[in-house]
Structure 1
Amino acid sequence: MKNILFTACLFLCASFTSGQTFTLSSADLGGQFTNEFIAANFGCTGSNKSPELHWTNAPAGTKSFAVTMYDADAPTGSGFWHWVLVDIPSNVMQLKSGAGSIPQKLAPDGSLQSLNDTGAPGYQGPCPPEGETAHRYIITVYALNTPKLGTSSQSTAALTGFMLHSATIARASLIVYCKR
């Protein structure tokens, strides 16, 4: 009887501690950005294509998602926002490669791409200054408690970040590096 109770306790404890966590992954990205995802401006000659992203185990109550990409090491004093995508419907768990291109219209229906720190909506690939140590690019998916964040295509990344702060249920991130 003790063995049965002990085994049952182990099973229940394992069930509670091994719960699935909200996770962000990419079939396109490893530890460093490749030329396909690097900027095609500011002295960089990449393809400026946003990477494929997918996420699993969104928390209960998720009504939409948002995705951002942020360079924590940009020499600006406040970092640099490369991509801001909000209002992704709650039934969408993946962004196709190239979804950050406004003209290609690959972003999920109903989603909204706001201004990055170049002043344009959509994806801006990494292009750190030459000779600096590798920059950290933090790509984050947010599970939100609202179907619409309330921002526009002209909202700044700072305003969107403020709105995300109060609407976030959970978040998952990847860090990818770039140096040139």
Structure 2
Amino acid sequence: MMNSIEDRISSYLQWNRPVTVVVDDHRLPVIGLMVNSQIYIPLKAYFQALNQKLVAQGFNVSGDYLGDQFEFTLGTKTLRINGISFPLDQAPFGSNQEIYVSAAFVAVLTRHTYEWAESDRLILFLPLDDANFEVSIAEFPPFSVLPKQFLHKDLGGDGHIPTLFWANAPKETKSFAVMLGDEHPIAAGYSYWNILGLPASATGVAAKDDLSRLTQRSYRGVAPMQSSGYHEYLFYIFALDEAKVATTGALNTIDDAKRVFHGHILDVGIYPTFAML
């Protein structure tokens, strides 16, 4: 019984401790919050780091981020960008001192991807639009909610494989690796799709392609945990300097891949999307 209680306390502390937030190499002076594994970002501090302004009038907040007009209301689950609504996983909350929003909120609004570093309890935001190595997907735009057909069949989806394209890879590239990571703290970077050893001439992958020889883990659709908010799914395209990088065992997470590919990564293309139950 004692072990069970200790395990529960340990789990609670794991998912309910402060979080360090870094955006564009700026460590925010205000900590982020983690509540039951969901991360909340201090929006005012985040915008100050990006030299952007917010206007808060009571419960209504608005602003202009690099030409995009946005607005939202505290306590509601809708973010409007240029008049288009994006459904939020959690309602923003706060006071005159600070406003807290979900990680997905700031990712969508500022077009930043994020990665979770459990060992440092740090969430790192990087701008997608600064990337030279470009990735695109035919079926849905970046920072959108993943269409149902790409979810796992156990969750009512179809497990369809999306159509990926990439461009502007480094000229020295000898091969590509494709992976799909779940950056939610619960998932710890678990990879849903591993393709290794694509030739340097490759510019994309599609469902019609016969990649069985190169596929270490087949794509069957993502499966976010219920009631855990949005999971950010990042499609990774690793441009590598060797035709075949030696691997031992399965690459279960994106961190596994980065360790195995260490010293061989020329560039990484990323494409973000979100899903939740």
On whether the aligned pair clears a TM of 0.5, the verdict is yes
Where does residue 77 of structure 2 map in the other structure?
none
Offset of residue 47 of structure 1? 0.8
Contact map agreement 1:74 1:128 (CA 8 A) in 2: no
Query: Distance in 2 between the 1:127 and 1:106 partners?
Result: 24
1:81 counterpart = 2:81: no
Identify the match of residue 106 of structure 1 among 202, 207, 210.
210
Query: Distance in 1 between the 2:223 and 2:156 partners?
Result: 9
Which consecutive aligned stretches of 4+ in structure 1 deviate over 2 angstroms post-superposition?
154-161
Between the two proteins, what is the percent identity of the paired residues? 22
Q: Structure 1 residues 132 and 160 mapped into 2: Cα distance closer, same or farther (>3 Å)?
A: closer
Aligned pairs for 1:157-168 within 5 A? 157-158=252-253, 159-168=256-265
Q: CA RMSD in A?
A: 2.1
Query: Distance in 2 between the 1:127 and 1:155 partners?
Result: 19
Residue identity in the other structure for 1:174: Y
Offset of residue 29 of structure 1? 2.2
Contact map agreement 2:190 2:252 (CA 8 A) in 1: no
Identify the match of residue 49 of structure 1 among 154, 160, 164.
160
Query: Distance in 1 between the 2:227 and 2:235 partners?
Result: 23
Q: How many residues align?
A: 143
Q: If the length of structure 2 is used for normalisation, what is the TM-score?
A: 0.48
Q: If the length of structure 1 is used for normalisation, what is the TM-score?
A: 0.71
Q: Name structure 2 gaps, 5 residues minimum.
A: 1-130
Query: Distance in 1 between the 2:224 and 2:139 partners?
Result: 20
Higher RCO, 1 vs 2 (CA within 8 Å, ≥6 residues apart): 1
Offset of residue 60 of structure 1? 1.4
Q: Name structure 1 gaps, 5 residues minimum.
A: 1-19, 100-104, 115-120
Where does residue 34 of structure 1 map in the other structure?
147
Residue identity in the other structure for 1:92: A
Offset from partner CA, 1:85-111 (integer Å, 9 cap, x none): 110000010101x26xxxxx632x8x6
